[in-house]
């Protein structure tokens, strides 16, 4: 009996020793699954920037309100626009003229096309003539989008406004708030933009919609004289608005 137990113990010890010498069973680790390939989703086509169709002149002609009449002002708009890369467009200055020398009045609103108009950044400043001038009560309440941040030059630059030195927010228009010419006997256009005399006057707007108790962009007040120095003294530089008519 003792021999049997001893033999069993020897066999058990041998089995354990043999098991200890065997390498441990290693469970294979599966290789990580490859990351799923990300398929880019094409973004919706970005809306192209609207071409330039409105700006305030970066410089005036340099002779105050003597612009060479409407023809000279239009040519200045065209020259600046083309220098900025605008091609295949016809540009007109936003200016009204008064009846003189047998010539009828010309309204600024009638010579700038039908809109919409966009600044050098592509932002819309007005949808059409009615929106630009607030023809209806609703449109007047909503207002156009002309402001200090949207009225840019053809070079996509801002203009000095109220509080800047020098202030240049007076913009020549010769117009009433609705974009029409004055019909009284007073001179509101510096003799239809042919005079740079110290006397005379031209109606101006405030592009930044600030100052003087009148925030109109196109008919804030009259200038005190027609010369370059006269315009500078009252907060201007002989600048004017330009619109693409096509």
CA distance 218 to 17: 105
Distance of CA 95 to the CA centre of its chain: 21
Q: Give per-residue pLDDT as tens, 170-196.
A: 999 999 999 999 999 999 999 999 999
Q: Would you place residue 29 in the very low, low, confident or very high pLDDT band (cuts 50, 70, 90)? A: low
Distance CA 205, CA 46 (A): 36
What is the per-residue pLDDT across 121-157, written as a single tens digit (0 to 9) for each? 999 999 999 999 987 766 666 688 999 999 999 999 9
What is the share, in percent, of the chain residues with pLDDT greater than 70? 78
Q: CA end-to-end span of the chain, whole Å?
A: 120
Residues 28-57 as b/e (b if ≥16 CB within 10 A, e otherwise) read: eeeeeeeeeeeeeeeeeeeeeeeebbbbbb
Q: What is the pLDDT at residue 10?
A: 45
pLDDT of 211 above 90:
no
Name the residue with higher pLDDT: 234 or 47.
Answer: 234
Name the band, by pLDDT with cuts 50, 70 and 90, for residue 48: confident
The predicted model gives 203-223 an average pLDDT of 90
CA pseudo-torsion sign 4, 6, 10, 16: positive
In this predicted structure, the answer to whether residue 120 has a pLDDT above a threshold of 80 is yes
* pTM higher than the cut 0.85: no
Arithmetic mean of pLDDT over the chain: 86
Confidence tier at 119 by pLDDT (50, 70, 90): very high
């Amino acid at each position: 009996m003792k021999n049997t137990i001893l033999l069993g113990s020897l066999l058990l010890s041998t089995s354990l020793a043999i098991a200890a010498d065997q390498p441990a069973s290693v469970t294979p680790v599966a290789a990580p699954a490859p990351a799923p390939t990300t398929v880019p989703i094409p973004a919706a086509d970005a809306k192209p920037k609207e071409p330039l169709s409105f700006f305030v002149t970066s410089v005036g002609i340099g002779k105050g309100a003597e612009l060479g009449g409407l023809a000279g002002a239009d040519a200045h708009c065209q020259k600046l626009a083309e220098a900025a890369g605008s091609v295949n467009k016809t540009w007109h200055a936003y200016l009204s003229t008064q009846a003189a020398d047998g010539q009828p009045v010309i309204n600024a609103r009638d010579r700038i096309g039908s809109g919409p108009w966009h600044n050098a950044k592509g932002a819309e400043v007005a949808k059409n003539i009615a929106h630009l001038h607030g023809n209806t009560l609703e449109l007047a309440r909503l207002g156009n989008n002309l402001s200090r941040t949207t009225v840019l030059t053809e070079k996509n630059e801002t203009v000095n406004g109220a509080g800047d030195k020098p202030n240049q927010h007076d913009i020549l228009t010769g117009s009433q708030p609705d974009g029409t010419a004055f019909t009284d006997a007073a001179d509101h256009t510096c003799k239809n933009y042919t005079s740079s005399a110290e006397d005379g006057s031209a109606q101006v707007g405030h592009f930044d919609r600030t100052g003087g108790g009148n925030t109109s962009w196109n008919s804030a007040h009259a200038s005190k004289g027609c010369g370059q120095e006269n315009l500078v003294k009252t907060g201007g530089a002989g600048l004017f608005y330009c619109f693409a008519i096509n």
